[in-house]
Amino acid sequence: MAPLRSFVDVPPESHFPLENLPYGVFRSISGGDPRPGVAIGDYVLDLSAVAEAGLFDGPLLKNSSCFSQTSLNKFLEMGRSAWEEARLTLQKLLSADEPTLRDDEKLREKCLFPVQSKVKLLLPMVIGDYTDFFSSMHHAKNCGTIFRGPENPIPQNWFHLPIAYHGRASSVVISGTDITRPRGQAYPAANSPPYFGPSKKLDFELEMAAIVGPGNELGHPINVNNAVDHIFGLVLMNDWSARDIQAWEYVPLGPFLGKSFGTSISPWIVTLDALAPFACEAPKQEPEPLPYLSEARHVNYDIPLEVYIKPAGLEHQFLVTKSNFNHLYWTITQQLAHHTVNGCNLRPGDLLGTGTISGPNQESFGCLLELTWNGQKQLSVGDSSRNFLEDGDEVTFTACCKGDGYNVGFGICTGKVLPLSS
């Protein structure tokens, strides 16, 4: 099938052609309230202006106020039928052969904004709750080997359920937000008291996150085979981690201050509809999951992932690892079904992180903890090296699926480390 053509100029290398149309929320730099939009090439299409012009004429969206909101939550709540209706309408409106926007200069100027010069991208949804899973077997094995030795690196329960902890939604920030180095307690040396001060082992974690659409009522689990209809799409996520603080605090209740100081996400939500051509078979699970986790369609997505570090004072960034979403052992639908099996209620806009996505070899490890083996090795970053992140380092994640003549990408998720404030 030939790539779709838009009347909007879409550069060949763009992450955002008609095949993608990811959703976000933006504010015009000239002022006004935040509003929903979709990315097309180097532009954002203002969905509130499209709705105001009466261009959503399908039964679900015609009289809906979902695009006059300051977040995507109301649209997320409407579910797959509304999402599909919106996608078909937007692909038609933006196509090269459709005159409605193409030939109406005033309407076009009202609806389309250059991203780089005219808008500020914001968090796309109000996040009520944030959960972080631990779903990469390679990451689990490496972490277990580092901290417990190679004899039994992965606990028995890991192969029976998607392990997770509840994170801190208030410190989830949009890409481009600086991250201040956290401080806290760390392991004592010999018989001294615990160390207290700035983290000496600040790390990135290469993750993605699922955005919840329709939720479920308290006490009513979501069937694993219906879970896909409760997931709107995916974003890139950097779950920054202070490894020294985390190592001292996590027994017996798990991560706390070592994680809650900051989590960065990319601004554009790529829908599962856009990712459908890149679905692939997920890893075989042994032992067979319990019935509530056994899914008829056991799939991941082929999403290549890359991480770059730009040291302070330099213009060039350096590739430090390449992984892929398809390495996840537990799928996002299994994660969501497990999250609700006890009756827990999810809500539109909830964020479900995958956990660090590591591949099987050194070049595909998803964090510095693995890449440097907890600081025992040096990682080359241009002419310098790293055990863990230094002040001034800027970390950038990117991801892009390669179709036949087109891309479906996520843009970037970036953040710079600032020194601890006094």
Residues with a catalytic annotation lie at: 139
Query: Structure tokens of 208?
Result: 């993605």
What span, in angstroms and rounded, lies between the C-alpha atoms of 129 and 294? 26
If one counts every other C-beta atom within 10 angstroms of the C-beta of residue 238, the result is 27
Residue 92: strand, helix, or coil: helix
Quote helix, strand, coil % in the chain, to nearest 5. Answer: 25, 30, 45
What span, in angstroms and rounded, lies between the C-alpha atoms of 188 and 15? 47
Give yes or no for a contact between 392 and 153, defined as CB atoms under 8 angstroms apart.
no
What span, in angstroms and rounded, lies between the C-alpha atoms of 126 and 73? 7
CA 132 to chain centre: 11
CA 330 to chain centre: 16
Residue 399: strand, helix, or coil: strand
Give yes or no for a contact between 329 and 137, defined as CB atoms under 8 angstroms apart.
yes
b/e burial code for range 139-170 (CB count within 10 A of at least 16 → b): bbbbbbbbeeeeeebeeeebeebbbbbebbbe
State the DSSP string of 298-350. -EEE--EEEEEEE-TT-S--EEEEEEEGGGBSS-HHHHHHHHHTTSPPP-TT-
- Where helices occur in 22-79 by DSSP H, the ranges are 47-52, 73-78
If one counts every other C-beta atom within 10 angstroms of the C-beta of residue 9, the result is 10
Query: What DSSP designation does 296 have?
Result: S
What span, in angstroms and rounded, lies between the C-alpha atoms of 395 and 414? 6
If one counts every other C-beta atom within 10 angstroms of the C-beta of residue 64, the result is 18
